[in-house]
Amino acid sequence: MFDRTPLAVAAKFGHPESVERLIGMEGVEVDIQDDAGRTPLILAAISGSAPVVRALLRIPGAAVNTAERTETTALMHASHNGAVDVVSELVAAEGINECVDSEGSNAVAFAARWD
């Protein structure tokens, strides 16, 4: 259905030890997108796992601004879900920028939608 890699699955379910092990393996693509356009970083942000997000952000050149098909980024998801620790990790990441989705909403707008 979503054609996810082992790294993406570990990120989605918040397993930092597995993520650390996998990113250390040769040939593992850390920014690969699944069928919905979600990277392991986006999946970790959705799940609210700050330790996994932190591990993925330590990778040199991590694509912090990648958006899924709806043009939603990891920062937008974390903001919408009220994942304060994840938002803190992401806004401190080198190269993070204020993207907008297909409706013109940014991370602040996503945070405002949080209940």
- Give residue-wise pLDDT tens across range 37-90: 999 999 999 999 999 999 999 998 889 999 999 889 999 899 889 999 999 999
Q: Which alpha helices (DSSP H) does the chain contain, by range?
A: 6-12, 16-23, 40-47, 50-57, 74-81, 84-91, 107-112
Confirm whether 1 is domain-assigned: no
Residue 34 lies in a domain: yes
State which residues form the domain around 43. 6-112
Q: Which residues contact 95 (CB under 8 A, 6 or more apart)?
A: 64, 65
Question: Which tokens hold the place of 59?
Answer: 């990778």
Task: Determine the 3-state secondary structure of 81 from DSSP.
Answer: helix
DSSP 8-state class, residue 13: T
Q: How many domains does the chain have?
A: 1
Query: Which CA distances in Å does 112 have to 36, 48, 72, 82?
Result: 24, 17, 15, 9
pTM as predicted:
0.89
Residue 48 belongs to a domain: yes
pLDDT at 109: 72
pLDDT value of residue 95: 85
CATH number of 48's domain: 1.25.40.20
Residues whose CB is less than 8 angstroms from the CB of residue 53 and which lie 6 or more positions away in sequence, other chains included: 41, 44, 45, 74, 78, 86, 89, 90
Among candidates 78, 73, 64, which has minimal Cα distance to 113?
A: 78
Q: 């190269």: which residue's tokens?
A: 95
